[in-house]
Structure 1
Amino acid sequence: MTTPAPRPTPDTAATSQQADAPREFPIRRGCPFAPPAEYGTMRGDDPVARITLPTGREAWAVTRYDDVRELLSDPRVSADIRHPNFPALGEGEQEAGARFRPFIRTDAPEHTRYRRMLLPVFTVRRVRAMRPAVQACVDDILDGVLAAGGPVDFVSAYANAVSTSVICELLGIPKENLEFFRDVTRISGSRHSTAEEVAHALGGLFGLLSRLIGERRDEPRDDLISQLVTGHLATGKVTEDELLSTLGITINAGRETTTSMIALSTLLLLEQPELAAELRQDPALMPAAVDELLRILSVADSIPLRVAAEDIELSGRTIPAGDGVIALLAAADHDPEQFDTPGQADFHRTDNHHLAFGHGVHQCIGQHLARLELEVALETLLRRVPGLRLAGDREQVAIKHDSATFGLEELMVTW
């Protein structure tokens, strides 16, 4: 990798002007395979930028790779959603989050306790052992899609079906209504949902989980809910409300990001068939390809929401204690100082230390499972459906801009 020239440091006048006129955030992507073009401008001229959120609050957006990595590993930042300046992007996000307390929006020691509870299930060894089951699940779903015939909405019929079925299989949840889980996430993850709408959606999910917890108390099975009930709930390590919140965020976060990645990756491979051909010719490239797709797409771009517990200096700017700050993962993953040709998908890229799963103590606990699902879902699709193509014009692809996770609402395909 070549050594880039030093970046210019913003002068005092520019800093003052930028501070007086914060950018409106979030910023929409112009291309589904790249972050907003403005991220590049911010990274070069205003790397720790003032922004205005849909709630009317102001916060800071961090765009450089080194700064994002440093911020997310800094013990002086808080992920506690109850903080008055927490930079929530959705109208009902903070109120509902403060009520239900998802563990990704908590700090140590609370966050540590939840993470340790889940960690044994998501180790590399445990996830590797799941590959045959994930492959069987993907093959079964694809059998149904092919039998029904096209055109079909790829997001619903394949991407959501795969991600939701795998997480349901892991937890031991019946899979009769996969769209139910998608609807819950659609509402709870929307930036336009009110706190009441989020609470209603999560209430339906928690009702289902509460019934399953009761069943596992009486008849434990070989699934994650049973393990958590017998090993943590029954022993008093967690309350039922805490267990419900932990299971709820595991389902929502686990299935939504993977759904988005399967759908967007497939669209990218359809639009760049030379990359699909490369993977068909050499399937051993798939693990590296998945990491490169994770970097390119960075669907969880603005998930890392934090509050500065103390004054923090990054790139010559001081984020005052108490201010909200967002670490922009897509901006970091397209930083030319870290990645050569950052906008180009390169399945032979080495040292791909992307931040698509975040960084630090809150790094995604399910990243190994996500990689496995993507590898199996994409490899199986490329191998079994070589004639896959869009059903309709590219402009008809429905992009999901106003959700916590970037993705596609609908992708009509045929073969």
Structure 2
Amino acid sequence: MPHESATPLSTTGFQDDTPVAGAEPIRLPVERSSGCPFDPPAEMARLRAEQPLARLSFPDGHVGWLATSHSLARAVFSDARFSSRYEYLHLPFETGYSGELPVAPVGDMTGMDAPEHTRYRRLLAGKFTVRRMAFLGERIERITAEHLDGMERQGPTVDLVKAFAQPIPALTICELLGVPYDEHDFFQESTATVMSHGSTQEELAVALTAMHEYLRQLVLAKRAAPTDDLLSDLTRSDLTDEELTGLAVFLLGAGLDTTANMISFGTFALLSNPSQFAALRADPGIADQAVEELMRYLTIAQLGARSALEDVELAGQVVRAGETVIVSTEAANRDPERYPDPDVLDLRRKATGHLGFGHGIHQCLGQQLARVEMRAAFPALVSRFPTLRLAVPADEVPLRTGMNIFGVHRLPVTWGPERR
């Protein structure tokens, strides 16, 4: 969440909360089916079939929209008439933040529009290419193998989040950026505070200030004595110290949290679908398809938000300037118009066009790195531990509700012969 001083939305000329005549606003559906943490709320499916663009009532009194179909999600994400700037947005859930949202901190690309966003994106695009990420593959495979060895020594019961899912992306992003890995616990705890909907303004400020100060000192050190890493590369650009520090906070937070949750939550899904676990173990060659299908099926970044900069006609409705459109990416990725049997996890499915990494100019910058990490992690895990299973009942696995990125807090797993 951003934390700088807010620019009140009412001063932008975009505020218009007049609801469409005859349309009764709904609240954001959040109730999931009992015992199934992987499926979106059932109400999302009903809306997608009957009212894919529905009026949505927000906790702050704003009335905007909820888009649930795949085609509408792509349309909103790719239309420059919809803004990502935080100060224009309303959020569909209660948060620990009061008042209008502030502008994005320097370096936070998620809260920017073109041309500011374009400048940052161009600087970074060449750093996260498919080819460059592939070069990291061998190192990531070694990191994966080392942590599987560690699990074996520690086992036969471990928390997969701490033992496996977090260290792989943490080591990788720290090495890529040139951040000492010894500090990853501090950054992960700070990132969790920033990602939580329930964090207070004071908690957010403390977490972000600590991250900024640490990385500001590191940026100054890289300028004085560059090393072979991405931050040192960027010291040769026209970025100021403030910009480079903010960008480092943004990249490190994203690199630590998202892929770690995909590895742990993806493992939970595989253990809950034994035929798919067996399919991946029998044929590691389907790893590429498996990663894309898990991204589609799980959609850990469940919601996107955009605000209309002008009146926009969408699905036969007029979205007025200033109205926020919430995009349910999890509902869009389960759209039967796009994917047959969308509620089935099928690792052999060609899940092209999924929105697990977003779409449009804000599509995930580090998606190729995430793919390399997951392609290494999932096949290696199921191969090393063919008897892997949950160590607690599935409904006792603690879910990351109330956070920007969905997943699990812990995933207790075990292996070996089952005890009778």
Partner Cα separation in structure 2 for residue 58 and residue 127 of structure 1: 42
**Map of 2:214 onto structure 1:** 208
**For residues 342-363 of structure 1, what are the alpha-carbon distances to aligned partners after superposition, in whole Å with 9 as ceiling and x for unaligned?**
0111222236221111111111
Q: Percent identity?
A: 39
Mark the runs of 5 or more structure 2 residues left unpaired by the alignment. 1-19, 416-420
1:66 aligns with 2:71: yes
Query: 1:181 Cα deviation (Å)?
Result: 2.2
1:23 aligns with 2:26: yes
**For residues 96-126 of structure 1, what are the alpha-carbon distances to aligned partners after superposition, in whole Å with 9 as ceiling and x for unaligned?**
6534561111001100111111111110110
Give the aligned residue type for 2:252.
I
SS of the aligned residue for 2:370 comes to helix
**Aligned partners of 1:187 and 1:197 also within 8 Å:** yes
**Aligned partners of 2:58 and 2:90 also within 8 Å:** no
Partner Cα separation in structure 1 for residue 392 and residue 148 of structure 2: 21
Query: 1:144 Cα deviation (Å)?
Result: 2.0
**Aligned partners of 1:57 and 1:87 also within 8 Å:** no
**Aligned partners of 1:92 and 1:198 also within 8 Å:** no
TM-score scaled by length of structure 2: 0.89
Matches within 5 A, 1:265-304: 265-302=266-303, 304=304
**Map of 2:410 onto structure 1:** 410
**Aligned partners of 2:107 and 2:250 also within 8 Å:** no
Counterpart pick for 2:109 among 85, 103, 106? 103
**Aligned partners of 2:57 and 2:92 also within 8 Å:** no
Query: 1:299 Cα deviation (Å)?
Result: 0.6
**Map of 2:85 onto structure 1:** 80
Partner Cα separation in structure 1 for residue 103 and residue 141 of structure 2: 35
Mark the runs of 5 or more structure 1 residues left unpaired by the alignment. 1-14
SS of the aligned residue for 1:162 comes to helix
SS of the aligned residue for 1:205 comes to helix
1:45 aligns with 2:50: yes
Number of residue pairs matched? 392
**For residues 159-189 of structure 1, what are the alpha-carbon distances to aligned partners after superposition, in whole Å with 9 as ceiling and x for unaligned?**
1111211111111111114332221121101
**Aligned partners of 1:276 and 1:382 also within 8 Å:** yes
Query: 1:365 Cα deviation (Å)?
Result: 0.9
**Map of 1:335 onto structure 2:** 335
Matches within 5 A, 1:15-414: 16-17=21-22, 19-20=23-24, 22-25=25-28, 27-30=30-33, 31-83=36-88, 85-87=89-91, 89=93, 90-92=95-97, 95=101, 98-100=104-106, 102-229=108-235, 231-232=236-237, 237-302=238-303, 304-350=304-350, 352-414=352-414
Query: 1:56 Cα deviation (Å)?
Result: 4.4
Partner Cα separation in structure 2 for residue 365 and residue 42 of structure 1: 31
CA shift in 2, pair 1:258/1:131, >3 Å? same
Partner Cα separation in structure 2 for residue 183 and residue 272 of structure 1: 31
Q: State the superposition RMSD in angstroms.
A: 1.9
Query: 1:16 Cα deviation (Å)?
Result: 4.9
Partner Cα separation in structure 2 for residue 39 and residue 385 of structure 1: 36
**Aligned partners of 2:40 and 2:330 also within 8 Å:** yes
Give the aligned residue type for 1:277.
A
TM-score scaled by length of structure 1: 0.90
**For residues 297-345 of structure 1, what are the alpha-carbon distances to aligned partners after superposition, in whole Å with 9 as ceiling and x for unaligned?**
011111x211001112222221111111112111111001111000111
Give the aligned residue type for 1:239.
T
Give the aligned residue type for 2:277.
A
Partner Cα separation in structure 1 for residue 182 and residue 40 of structure 2: 36
**For residues 127-167 of structure 1, what are the alpha-carbon distances to aligned partners after superposition, in whole Å with 9 as ceiling and x for unaligned?**
11110011111122222222222422211221111121111
Partner Cα separation in structure 1 for residue 59 and residue 246 of structure 2: 26
CA shift in 2, pair 1:105/1:322, >3 Å? same
Partner Cα separation in structure 2 for residue 404 and residue 265 of structure 1: 17
**Aligned partners of 1:50 and 1:58 also within 8 Å:** yes
**For residues 227-254 of structure 1, what are the alpha-carbon distances to aligned partners after superposition, in whole Å with 9 as ceiling and x for unaligned?**
111x22xxxx222222122111112222
Partner Cα separation in structure 1 for residue 130 and residue 247 of structure 2: 21
Partner Cα separation in structure 1 for residue 61 and residue 104 of structure 2: 19
**Aligned partners of 1:92 and 1:196 also within 8 Å:** no
**Aligned partners of 2:307 and 2:323 also within 8 Å:** yes
Give the aligned residue type for 2:314.
L
CA shift in 2, pair 1:223/1:29, >3 Å? farther
Give the aligned residue type for 1:109.
P
Partner Cα separation in structure 2 for residue 37 and residue 351 of structure 1: 22
